Amino acid sequence: MTALKTAVLKPGKDKAVRNKHHWIFSGAVARLPDFEDGDILAVQSSRGEFLGHAYFNRRCSIIGRMLSFDHTAGPEAVRRNLTRAATLRRSFFDDATDAYRLVNAEGDGLPGLIVDRYGDVVVIQIATLGMDRLKPVLIECLDQIIPSRAVYEKSSQPSRREEGLPDFEGPVRGDPPAEVRIRENGIPFLVDVARSQKTGFFLDQREMRKMVRWLSRGKRVLNCFSYTGGFSVYALLGGAGRVVSVDVSEPALDLARKNLALNGFDCPAGDFVQADIFSFIRGVEPHAFDLIILDPPAFAKKKSDVVQACRGYKDLNRLALSLLPAGGLLLTFSCSHFVDEPLFQTVLFQAAAEAGRRVRILQRHHQSFDHPLNIFHPETEYLKGFLLYVD
Q: Provide the CATH number for the domain around residue 246.
A: 3.40.50.150
Do residue 221 and residue 361 come from a single domain?
A: yes
Q: Is 335 a catalytic residue?
A: yes
The pLDDT score that the predictor gives to residue 155 is: 94
Residues 322 and 289: their CA atoms lie apart, in Å, by: 11
For the segment 159-167, the average pLDDT, to the nearest whole number, is 93
Q: Give residue-wise pLDDT tens across range 324-348.
A: 999 999 999 999 989 999 999 999 9
Share of the chain above pLDDT 70, in %: 99
Question: Which among 306, 291, 304 is positioned nearest to 342, based on CA atoms?
Answer: 306
Do residue 297 and residue 378 come from a single domain?
A: yes
Residues 143 and 126: their CA atoms lie apart, in Å, by: 17
The pLDDT score that the predictor gives to residue 30 is: 97
Burial of 312 (0-12, 13-18, 19+ CB in 10 A): middle
Residue 1 has pLDDT above 50, yes or no: no
Residue 244 lies in a domain: yes
Residues 201 and 196: their CA atoms lie apart, in Å, by: 8
Do residue 63 and residue 90 come from a single domain?
A: no
Do residue 63 and residue 78 come from a single domain?
A: no
Q: How many CB atoms within 10 Å of residue 166? A: 9
Residues 196 and 220: their CA atoms lie apart, in Å, by: 27
Q: Give residue-wise pLDDT tens across range 290-322.
A: 999 999 988 988 888 999 999 999 999 999 999
pLDDT band of residue 3 (cuts 50, 70, 90) is low
For the segment 244-249, the average pLDDT, to the nearest whole number, is 96
Residue 241 has pLDDT above 90, yes or no: yes
Residue 120 lies in a domain: yes
Looking at 35, 68, 101, the residue that finishes a domain is 68
Residue 187 lies in a domain: no
The pLDDT score that the predictor gives to residue 2 is: 52
| Consecutive H or E run containing 160 | helix 159-163
The pLDDT score that the predictor gives to residue 47 is: 95
- Is the CB of residue 44 less than 8 Å from the CB of residue 8? yes
More confident residue, 379 or 240: 240
The pLDDT score that the predictor gives to residue 195 is: 85
Residue 158 has pLDDT above 90, yes or no: no
Quick one: how far is CA 332 from the chain centroid? 16
Per annotation, catalytic residue among 60, 224, 310, 335: 335
Looking at 19, 48, 68, the residue that finishes a domain is 68
Residue 280 has pLDDT above 90, yes or no: yes
Kindly report the length of the chain. 391
For the segment 16-44, the average pLDDT, to the nearest whole number, is 97
Q: How many domains does the chain have?
A: 3
Do residue 386 and residue 272 come from a single domain?
A: yes
pTM of the model: 0.93
Q: What rounded mean pLDDT belongs to the chain?
A: 95
Which domain covers residue 295, as residue numbers? 202-390
Q: Give residue-wise pLDDT tens across range 90-121.
A: 999 999 999 999 999 999 999 999 999 999 99
